[in-house]
Amino acid sequence: QQPVQSPQAVILREGEDAVINCSSSKALYSVHWYRQKHGEAPVFLMILLKGGEQKGHEKISASFNEKKQQSSLYLTASQLSYSGTYFCGTESYGGATNKLIFGTGTLLAVQP
C-alpha cells in the first residue's frame, strides 16, 4: 500500500518554507526522499533509517517518527531550484526487504 503524502501541491515564493509529510499504515524500516524535475529521473535527497532520526542536506532536512509511522521533509528559505515533485519511498517491516514503495508525490512550485 502506497504511503500517503500531503499536501498534494504547494506554491511558494522564494525564501519561504515548506513541509511535506509522508505517512504509512505499516511499521517502517526506512524512509527515502527523492526530487524529480519534469521529464527527468528522480534524484536522491536522503534516507532515514532509525526512528527519530533527523538528517539535513543544505537547507533541506527530514525527520522520521517511527512510532507514528511518519516522515516529514523540511525545505527552508526555498530557492527556484527546489521546484519539482517530491516523493517519499518507504520500506516496511513484516514484508520483503528491498521493496521500496513510493507515495504519489507532492508538486512544489517556487516562484520569484
Partner 1 sequence: NAGVTQTPKFQVLKTGQSMTLQCAQDMNHEYMSWYRQDPGMGLRLIHYSVGAGITDQGEVPNGYNVSRSTTEDFPLRLLSAAPSQTSVYFCASSRVSGNTIYFGEGSWLTVV
Binding partner 1 (rule: CB under 8 A), the pick from 29, 53, 61, 63 is 29
87 binds partner 1 (CB under 8 A): yes
Terminal CA-CA length for the chain: 37
**Measured from the CB of residue 56, what is the shortest distance to partner 1 in angstroms?**
16
Rounded distance between C-alpha atoms, residue 2 and residue 59, angstroms: 27
Region near partner 1 per CB under 8 A, out of 12-20, 63-71, 76-84, 95-103? 95-103
State phi, psi for 60 to the nearest 5 degrees. -120, 125
Helix/strand/coil (H/E/C) assignment for every residue in 34-87: EEECCCCCCEEEEEECCCCCEEEECCEEEEEECCCCEEEEEECCCCHHHCEEEE
Instruction: Name which of 44 and 54 has its Cβ closer to partner 1.
Output: 44
Q: Answer yes or no whether residue 49 interacts with partner 1 by CB under 8 A.
A: yes
**Residues near partner 1, by CB under 8 A:** 2, 29-30, 32, 34, 40-44, 47, 49, 87, 89, 91, 96-105
